[in-house]
Amino acid sequence: MATLVTMTPQGPEPPVAPVATGRFAPPAERRGWSWHLGRLFGIEVRVHPTFLVLLAWVALSHLMHGNDVVTAVAGVAYVVAVFAIVVLHELGHALAARRFGIATRDITLLPIGGVSRLERMPTRPSEELLVAIAGPAVNVALAALLWGALTVLGAASDVTRLNLIGGPFVAKLMWTNIGLAVFNLIPAFPMDGGRVLRALVALRTDYVRATDIAASVGQVVAIAFGFVGLFSNPMLVLIALFVWVGAQHEARAAHVRASLSEIPVSRAMISSVVAASPDEPVSSVARHMLAGFQDDIPVVEGGVLVGVVGRGEVLKATIDGDPGAAVSSLMARDVPSVRETDSLDEALEKLQESGRRSIPVVRDGALVGMLPVENVAYLLQVRERTRATLAHGGL
């Protein structure tokens, strides 16, 4: 992801450690504001407004350096072309993930690169390998295509005249693709190369150990970048910091996932929940909500879960709609649910896919509780504190 940040794998991300950088985009709705650009292969493409600031900056800096308007327009066109390439890179990840049944919520362009928010990360190393490598593979394919175009046009000699900054437009784009492929294959999180490395190691050992190894390699890369950067380019020092934090985050997320996979849902769920019946009026459900802490109220008919209604929907209906309407008219049907015996990492993944703050827990279709995301975070904190206490002599 040359774009420093591209694919955003998002496994069951611990609620305490959201990823803000890109990489694997956080599943939660915390992308900030961005504008809808269009859809490609059914995937929404968005752009962050600061991207326009970048375009304006490129145009202005050309003009302020005494370049003519044509050069300034060419400069802007180049930036737009680079970001089109970044979108194709992200599509590479997204379409590879789709092959394994993983949807992508959207692709967002930021001035530092692109981010695709996958619904979840592939769990099998072979799948992660293909999803991670698909982005840089797109750049390699584009570079080959552009090389072919230059050859056909008889302009292949341009290639030798080019560098990343100057040179003919098509040749410049070809080098940009090569640059993006190489940069993203640096074996360090959050770049694609970090994931490729982890997946390769995970083919031979377990996932957590593979992540630790890949994170350590990434930190060595970060130290090397930082050291070289100190004597040359301050940007490299920034990238080094980014890579260092990426490694720590990835390692922590893998450990959290592993520790959640050992805990059943029953340990973190709330068993005394307020539920509504489908024909209950919205106003009555609103009263239950205001009297308690539940963000989501399960709707149950004869003990069987038939839907869920959220705090926002109920309050909106109370104010703007008909408070006397049956709650079944508001509720979401076909909501995902988990079983008490499922592991918390699977449950957290489903919870994040659902976009809600809690998920119903069922036994043979009958509702037995709710699992709120806060409880998972709380349980993790308690476990970490308990471990720390034991490590200090059991006090």
Per-residue contact string for residues 1-20; x = within reach of Zn ion by CB under 5 A: x----xx-------------
Given the rule CB under 5 A, which of 133-141, 277-285, 340-348, 349-357 is the region that contacts Zn ion? 133-141
Of residues 1 and 299, the one with the C-beta less far from Zn ion: 1
Of residues 1 and 260, the one with the C-beta less far from Zn ion: 1
- Quote the least distance from Cβ 93 to Zn ion, whole Å: 6
| Sites for Zn ion among residues 151-170 (CB under 5 A) | none
Of residues 127 and 192, the one with the C-beta less far from Zn ion: 192
Of residues 7 and 109, the one with the C-beta less far from Zn ion: 7
Q: SS3 letters for the chain?
A: CCCCCCEECCCCCCCCCCCCCCCCCCCCCCCCCCEEEEEECCEEEEECCHHHHHHHHHHHHHHHCCCCHHHHHHHHHHHHHHHHHHHHHHHHHHHHHHHCCCCEEEEEEECCEEEEEECCCCCCHHHHHHHHHHHHHHHHHHHHHHHHHHHHCCCCHHHHHCCCCCCCHHHHHHHHHHHHHHHHCCCCCCCHHHHHHHHHHHCCCCHHHHHHHHHHHHHHHHHHHHHHHHHCCHHHHHHHHHHHHHHHHHHHHHHHHHHHCCCEHHHCCECCCCCECCCCEHHHHHHHHHHCCCCEEEEEECCEEEEEEEHHHHHHHHHHCCCCCEHHHCCECCCCCEECCCEHHHHHHHHHHHCCCEEEEEECCEEEEEEEHHHHHHHHHHHHHHHHHHHCCCC
Out of 13, 192, 250, 296, point to the residue binding Zn ion (CB under 5 A): 192
Of residues 54 and 88, the one with the C-beta less far from Zn ion: 88
314 binds Zn ion (CB under 5 A): no
Of residues 199 and 256, the one with the C-beta less far from Zn ion: 199
Given the rule CB under 5 A, which of 15-23, 42-50, 66-74, 132-140 is the region that contacts Zn ion? 132-140
| Sites for Zn ion among residues 283-302 (CB under 5 A) | none
| Sites for Zn ion among residues 260-279 (CB under 5 A) | none
- Quote the least distance from Cβ 187 to Zn ion, whole Å: 13
Of residues 9 and 15, the one with the C-beta less far from Zn ion: 9
Of residues 7 and 300, the one with the C-beta less far from Zn ion: 7
In whole angstroms, give the CA distance from residue 135 to residue 185: 10
Number of residues that bind Zn ion (CB under 5 A): 5
Out of 15, 113, 125, 135, point to the residue binding Zn ion (CB under 5 A): 135
In whole angstroms, give the CA distance from residue 145 to residue 126: 27
- Quote the least distance from Cβ 89 to Zn ion, whole Å: 6
Given the rule CB under 5 A, which of 14-22, 189-197, 249-257, 364-372 is the region that contacts Zn ion? 189-197
- Quote the least distance from Cβ 192 to Zn ion, whole Å: 4
| Sites for Zn ion among residues 360-379 (CB under 5 A) | none
> Where does this chain bind Zn ion (CB under 5 A)?
1, 6-7, 135, 192
